């Protein structure tokens, strides 16, 4: 027996930890889970597509979305805006489908304030040295920007205590398996099934 409402799963962690890679692998294995495309003002990286990886917005377009309260959360990170469109997320959950948000730590904190019933997962790197190596290998940031990202990453690691679960991204396949186990367990939580149980008792 499953609950009627879908889960809002929030996958968060430092830049370069592999959130996008893990999220893509998770969706390839579990086609039932929906992906919420975030909006951002940063420039597209090679291979990224508007409406698939992100909704790429100008600063003016993004600030209008903020003014109109059309974002579940938003944050400014290393001089760029990132945010989650509100309607798609809420509609998907109400339809009984699971949806995963791949967002920065600042954004995850705002989602938790607004939607505390979400499942919050912190994706952790095996080490800071490995994290720096992954960021460097992308070849998209200057040394100065990498230094800034590492400073922010250390601060974000201290926030993992605010999450429900911590998953180490040592190998993508292992991380995906752990996240799928978390989602399965969350669907079986007593608190999520109480309303359905009460309805069954009332019918009896």
Encode pLDDT of 11-51 as tens digits.
Answer: 999 888 989 899 999 989 888 899 888 899 999 988 898 88
Q: What is the reported pLDDT for 2?
A: 46
Q: What is the pLDDT of residue 182?
A: 97
Domain 8-36+97-203, CATH = 3.40.50.300
Q: Can you give the pLDDT at residue 203?
A: 59
Per-residue CA distances from 166 to 37, 97, 160 (Å)? 23, 23, 7
The pLDDT assigned to 165 comes to: 97
| 126: pLDDT strictly greater than 70 | yes
Q: Give the chain's length.
A: 204
pLDDT attached to residue 1: 42
Considering the entire predicted model, what is its pTM? 0.79
How far is the C-alpha of 191 from the C-alpha of 150, rounded, in Å? 38
Strand, helix or coil for residue 44: coil
Both tokens of 204, joined, read: 């009896």
pLDDT in tens, 154-185: 888 989 999 999 999 999 999 999 999 999 99
> In what helix (H) or strand (E) does residue 85 lie, and over which residues does it extend?
strand 80-85
How does pLDDT run across 89-102, given as a tens digit for each residue? 888 999 999 999 98
Say which residue the tokens 């979305």 belong to. 65
Residue 150 has a CB neighbour count (10 Å cut-off) of: 16
Task: Supply the angle between the helices 19-29 and 172-187 in degrees, to the nearest 10.
Answer: 60
Query: Strand ranges (DSSP E) for 104-187?
Result: 119-124, 165-168
The whole-number average pLDDT for the span 69-79 is 87
Q: How far apart are CA 92 and CA 98, in angstroms?
A: 7
Question: In a 3-state reduction of DSSP, which class is residue 181?
Answer: helix
Alpha-carbon 121 to chain mean position: 8
Structure tokens at 169: 């991204």
Q: Which residue has the higher pLDDT, 174 or 194?
A: 174
Specify the range with the lowest mean pLDDT, choosing from 53-57, 102-106, 188-192, 199-203.
199-203
Confidence of residue 204 (pLDDT cuts 50, 70, 90): low
Where residue 149 falls among pLDDT bands split at 50, 70, 90?
A: confident
The CB density around residue 13, as the number of other CB atoms within 10 Å, is 29
Identify the H or E element spanning 54: strand 54-56
């Amino acid at each position: 027996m499953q609950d009627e409402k879908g889960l809002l799963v929030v996958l968060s962690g430092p830049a370069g930890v592999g959130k996008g890679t893990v999220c893509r692998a998770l969706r390839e294995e579990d086609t039932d889970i929906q992906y919420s495309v975030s909006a951002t003002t940063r420039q597209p990286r090679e291979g990224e597509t508007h409406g698939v990886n992100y909704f790429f917005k100008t600063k003016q377009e993004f600030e209008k979305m903020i003014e109109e309260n059309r974002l579940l959360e938003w944050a400014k990170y290393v001089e760029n805006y990132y945010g989650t469109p509100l309607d798609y997320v809420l509609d998907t959950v109400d339809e009984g489908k699971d949806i995963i948000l791949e967002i920065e730590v600042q954004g995850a904190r705002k989602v938790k304030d607004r939607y505390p019933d979400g499942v919050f997962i912190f994706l952790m790197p095996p080490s800071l040295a490995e994290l720096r190596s992954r960021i460097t290998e992308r070849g998209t940031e200057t040394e100065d920007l990498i230094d800034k990202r590492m400073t922010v990453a250390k601060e974000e690691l201290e926030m993992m205590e605010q999450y429900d679960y911590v998953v180490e991204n040592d190998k993508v396949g292992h991380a995906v398996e752990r996240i799928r186990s978390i989602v399965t367990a969350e669907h079986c939580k007593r608190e999520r099934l109480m309303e359905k149980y009460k309805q069954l008792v009332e019918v009896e």
